[in-house]
Amino acid sequence: MQNQPDRPIHFLASIDKYFISEDGDTAVANGLNVAILGATGAVGGEILSLLEQRAFPLSSLKLIASPRSAGTRLSFKGESLPVESLEEAAFKGVDLVLASAGGSISLQWLPRAVAAGAIAIDNSSAFRMDPSVPLIVPEINSQTVHQHQGIIANPNCTTILMALAVWPLHQVQPVERLVIATYQSASGAGARAMEEVKQQTQAILAGDPPAVEAFPYPLAFNLFPHNSPLNDLGYCQEEMKMVEETRKIFSAPRLRITATCVRVPVLRAHSEAINIEFTQPFAVARAREILAQAPGVRLVEDWHRNYFPMPIDASGQDDVLVGRIRQDISNPNGLELWLSGDQIRKGAALNAVQIAELLATKPGVEAPLTR
């Protein structure tokens, strides 16, 4: 990673910031100075809500956004907090930056935040494949959280949702190949895209032509392959994120993965159809038993009613809903499953906050959190 400090900088200046709980864990006692970069966006707003809902240990909270959003006020714990403009002094005195402002902003500003003494958890794709940057789903590879050099990456939303469902099975029996089809909601493109779908729906129902800005084509009453750039093999950027990021998170560089990503006219929460090929047969009943106990997963199956995970049920939920687990009739070593998960919540904001919680609470009392 470029623009890194030459020497380690303590994240927390003193062990005095910790207290020892009854179960022996060490946690931040006095709270952290936290900044949300991209606070006025859909994910930034969700991060703000989650910090309050999960009682994250805060000493201070700074809201940062683009100059055009400066002066906006957002509610937190009954108080009205001002949104500050992104500038050089924005990260002074900040311990932790939760960033969700896009890749170009992250590339430009997060090294500066690190140089100012902060740790940054980034929701963009800017640093995900950097070998020096941990790419973390806390339910899978939380042990890598302290291997950072100032920046920790949050995976892509579709990768997070899929990984939560596949990892528990992979731990029992190695996965040989994944074939994935995604059904991605407007929320993946942010608040403006969600509003655009609403407006397009109203326009089409009124017999008017739908306005198109956030997406290249109308999404209301329509769907199309994901609109991220295509490579020479015909795979879009979103599909390659799933391939490369999953291999990094699983520490499985040779895992065979292919994906087809599709935008669908759903406001919030993504869905995925996943075909999993193992090294040998995997009993459906055993897979169902494992996923019913897996952290971050909720099994949703009612075969008599043909009721399985749906985005309308997953919206606003922390867990990824997984169901319709069945034998692949074309492959004795294959299983099929279906999932829906909230892209804004577990697919972005919640995962970032969970990473922050790992930094704020750790087992043992050997030393302060450092980088």
pLDDT tens for each residue of 355-366: 999 999 754 322
Contacts of 362 (CB under 8 A, 6+ apart): 25, 26, 146, 369
Question: Phi and psi for 169 in degrees, rounded to 5?
Answer: -75, -40
What's 370's DSSP letter? B
At 93, give phi and psi (nearest 5°).
75, 5
DSSP state of 315: T
Q: Which of 10, 146, 157, 261 is catalytic?
A: 157
Enter the tokens of residue 47.
Answer: 């991060």
Which is the catalytic residue, given 146, 170, 270, 304? 270
Please provide the size of the chain in residues: 371
- Report the alpha-carbon distance of residue 298 to residue 276 in Å, rounded: 19
| pLDDT score at 71 | 87
Hey, what are 41's tokens?
Answer: 């966006």
Residue for token digits 């009954």?
78
* Residue 366 structure tokens: 């050997």
pLDDT at res. 2: 42
Q: Are 353 and 98 in contact (CB under 8 A)?
A: yes
> pLDDT tens-digit profile of 71-104?
899 999 999 999 999 998 899 999 999 999 999 9
Residue 21 token pair: 């709980």
In the annotation, is 226 catalytic?
A: no
Q: Give residue-wise pLDDT tens across range 288-324.
A: 999 999 999 999 999 999 999 999 999 999 999 999 9
CB 273 within 8 A of CB 180: yes
**368, two tokens:** 């302060």
Helix intervals (H) in 131-276: 138-141, 157-172, 191-205, 237-250
Whose tokens are 């932790």? That residue is 96
Q: What is the pLDDT of residue 234?
A: 97
Q: With a cut of 70, which residues of the chain have pLDDT below it?
A: 1-30, 362-371
Q: Are 72 and 40 in contact (CB under 8 A)?
A: yes
Note the pLDDT of residue 364.
34
Confidence (pLDDT) at 362:
56
Round to whole Å and give the CA distance between 38 and 352: 13
Position of tokens 């994120």? 241
Domains of the chain, first to last:
15-155+349-363 (3.40.50.720), 159-343 (3.30.360.10)
Question: Phi and psi (nearest 5°) for 43?
Answer: -75, -40
Residue 231 makes CB contacts below 8 A (sequence gap 6+) with: 237, 240
**Does the active-site annotation cover 236?**
no
- The region that residue 129 occupies, defined by phi over 0 for left and psi between -120 and 50 for alpha, beta otherwise, is alpha
Cβ distance 159 to 184 under 8 Å? Answer: no
